[in-house]
């Protein structure tokens, strides 16, 4: 059965209207000193902010990020492990790809284009920078890019057809257009990426849901974000969906966790790692860990018109 299924504070002379500076001073003596000054009686930095204020800042961050990432191409190295639950053992695979994120105009989301150029050390085509060259070609870009995506998806291990394996997938839940679809709550669990960040849990409550499964079935999403309360920067996202059969039996359970980092070279926040776990009917399990590097821009703002 195939299922379908994603600190701190700046120095005192830093202009905090510039988001990138407000969140970079996360470590080191100066950052620790400032954090201590703003941590009275054991409270967290940003403790006087309301949940709605932090979510508003995160929404503003995501809207800016959507524009910033639309010109960024990155390298993706993915290690996949597939366990069929049978005695014939475990399969492993390493993929190397180029990955391009494009904003879908008027839909407040991103579309990821992945071009696998190497499988287990063997080149599958000889063209680097292929996806950006195609995109810059103009009106014929989208069908050609979609063909590359479909070709690349065939290299994935496991029976599940993935639609969550874009590192920014969960971010568009924070867009102002979609935020009301979710129930939000500040979590007591700490964010491992930054102890001053807020862990904010979410649960999708409006139907039909943004994520769909077989035959258009609604798949409500839940998870949490780690958000810098000062700047609104998203430091990490966690997403879970569960796909059941009409009889209520689980077909696929999917969990996607993404870490983000600020890259000086391209001047914006970028994904650094994405971990996917799929538990499938029959005891199948697929784990995929992608790491990102070599972030670079190309020469036009990338936009797609919704189809």
Note the CATH architecture for domain 19-304: Clam (2.50)
Q: Residues 219, 244: contact at Cβ < 8 Å?
A: no
The sign of the torsion formed by the CA atoms of 171, 216, 160, 239 equals: positive
- What span, in angstroms and rounded, lies between the C-alpha atoms of 113 and 127? 15
In the predicted model, residues of the chain with pLDDT beneath 70 are 1-47, 104-110, 126-128, 132, 135-142, 163, 246-249, 299-307
Residue ranges covered by each domain of the chain: 19-304
End-to-end CA, the chain: 28
Residue 21: what pLDDT? 35
Q: Residues 274, 258: contact at Cβ < 8 Å?
A: yes
> How many helices (H) and strands (E) would you count in the chain?
6, 12
Residue 232, SS3 per DSSP: coil
Residue 299: what pLDDT? 63
Report the predicted TM-score, pTM, of the whole model to 2 decimal places. Answer: 0.79
Residue 298: what pLDDT? 76
Can you read off the two tokens belonging to residue 183? Answer: 């129930």
Residue 125: what pLDDT? 77
Q: Which residues, including other chains, have CB under 8 Å from residue 31's CB and lie 6 or more apart? A: 7, 8, 9, 25
Residue 40: what pLDDT? 36
Residue 216: what pLDDT? 85
């Amino acid at each position: 059965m195939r299922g379908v299924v994603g600190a701190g504070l700046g120095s005192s002379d830093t202009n905090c209207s510039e988001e990138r500076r407000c969140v970079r001073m996360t470590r080191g003596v100066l950052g620790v000193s400032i954090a201590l000054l703003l941590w009275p009686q054991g409270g967290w930095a940003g403790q006087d902010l309301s949940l709605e204020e932090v979510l508003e800042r995160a929404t503003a961050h995501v809207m800016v990020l959507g524009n910033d990432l639309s010109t960024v191409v990155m390298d993706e190295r993915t290690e996949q492990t597939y366990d069929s639950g049978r005695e014939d053992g475990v399969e492993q695979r390493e993929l190397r790809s180029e990955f391009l994120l494009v904003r879908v105009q008027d839909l407040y989301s991103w579309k990821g284009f992945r071009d696998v150029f190497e499988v287990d050390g063997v080149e599958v085509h000889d063209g680097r920078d292929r996806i950006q060259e195609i995109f810059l070609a103009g009106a014929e870009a989208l069908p050609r890019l979609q063909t590359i995506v479909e070709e690349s998806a065939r290299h994935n291990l496991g029976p599940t057809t993935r639609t969550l394996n874009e590192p920014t997938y969960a971010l568009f839940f924070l867009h102002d257009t979609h935020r009301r679809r979710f129930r939000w709550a500040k979590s007591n669990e700490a964010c491992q990426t930054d102890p001053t960040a807020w862990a904010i849990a979410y649960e999708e409550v409006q139907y039909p849901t943004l994520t769909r499964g077989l035959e258009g079935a609604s798949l409500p999403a839940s998870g949490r974000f780690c958000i810098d309360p000062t700047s609104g920067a998203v430091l990490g996202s966690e997403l879970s969906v569960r796909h059941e059969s009409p009889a209520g039996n689980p077909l696929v359970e999917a969990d996607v966790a993404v870490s983000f980092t600020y890259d000086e070279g391209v001047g914006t926040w970028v994904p650094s790692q994405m971990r996917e776990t799929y538990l499938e009917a029959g005891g199948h399990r697929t784990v995929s860990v992608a790491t990102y590097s070599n972030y670079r821009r190309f020469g036009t703002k990338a936009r797609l018109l919704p189809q």
